[in-house]
């Protein structure tokens, strides 16, 4: 099974030269550490930053430079800061080419639940609802199951929905899957993981066609 860092590393292979990319809280923030050599992407954070770099080395943190998850980050040469209204105008105006989000649940239709667990304190929905409503290309980074072994790739989400039919691709600790009209289509397996293990961990409809390759990093 993949670590969180390996999930981020695999997602980084989806980056293309010239992309403007929004990274959500959690595993997605790690993607900035694995940009492939030879390409240039610009990371956007909805709290008002463009040109976000990887996490700083210990001792080099600047508490005034944070991402949307309040983690200290770096700023690349040419990076800029702006207010929230400008940031969300960029998101709602569809100027972001790729959005990478974490999720608590994803349905086989591409619905995503990632902002609230009923009965638990929540600070707010953040920018997730704007991102899923505006983005054309959404990749979810998540664990395939919860800590009890229950699937998080479901027929229908059980938690409050953040966005409907918006997720295009999912990278978990077990596999890479595309969300299609027919359900979750298995594209790649994590090293050492079998198709049967992915089937057992997936509640929603899982489509397996042909030989499934192992992930490459």
C-alpha–C-alpha distance, residues 4 and 9, integer Å: 9
DSSP 32: G
Point out the catalytic residue in the list 14, 46, 108, 203: 46
46 is catalytic: yes
Residues 56, 73: contact at Cβ < 8 Å?
Answer: yes
* Alpha carbon 217 to its chain's center: 17
Contacts of range 39-43, beta carbons closer than 8 Å, 24 or more positions apart:
39/15, 41/15, 41/16, 41/17
Q: Which residues pair with 189 in a beta bridge?
A: 175, 214
Sequence-separated (6 or more) residues with CB below 8 Å from residue 190? 1, 2, 6, 173, 174, 175, 214, 215
Q: Which residues are catalytic?
A: 46
């Amino acid at each position: 099974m993949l670590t969180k860092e390996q999930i981020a590393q695999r997602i980084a292979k989806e980056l293309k030269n010239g992309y403007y990319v929004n990274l959500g809280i959690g595993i997605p923030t790690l993607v900035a550490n694995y940009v492939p050599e030879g390409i240039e992407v610009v990371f956007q954070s909805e709290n008002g930053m463009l040109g976000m770099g990887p996490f700083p080395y210990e001792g080099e943190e600047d508490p005034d430079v944070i991402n949307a998850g309040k983690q200290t980050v770096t700023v690349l040469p040419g990076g800029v800061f702006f207010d929230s209204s400008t940031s969300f105008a960029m998101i709602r105006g569809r100027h972001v080419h790729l959005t990478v989000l974490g999720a608590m649940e994803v349905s086989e239709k591409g619905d995503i639940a990632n902002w609230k667990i009923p009965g638990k304190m929540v600070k707010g929905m953040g920018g997730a609802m704007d991102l899923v409503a505006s983005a054309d290309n959404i990749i979810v980074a998540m664990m395939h199951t919860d800590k009890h072994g229950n699937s998080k790739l479901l027929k229908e989400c059980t938690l409050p929905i953040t966005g409907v039919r918006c997720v295009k691709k999912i990278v978990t600790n077990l596999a890479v899957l595309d969300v299609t009209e027919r359900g979750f289509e298995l594209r790649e397996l994590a090293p050492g993981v079998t198709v049967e293990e992915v089937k057992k961990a997936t509640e929603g409809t899982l489509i397996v066609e042909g030989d499934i390759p192992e992930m490459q990093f």
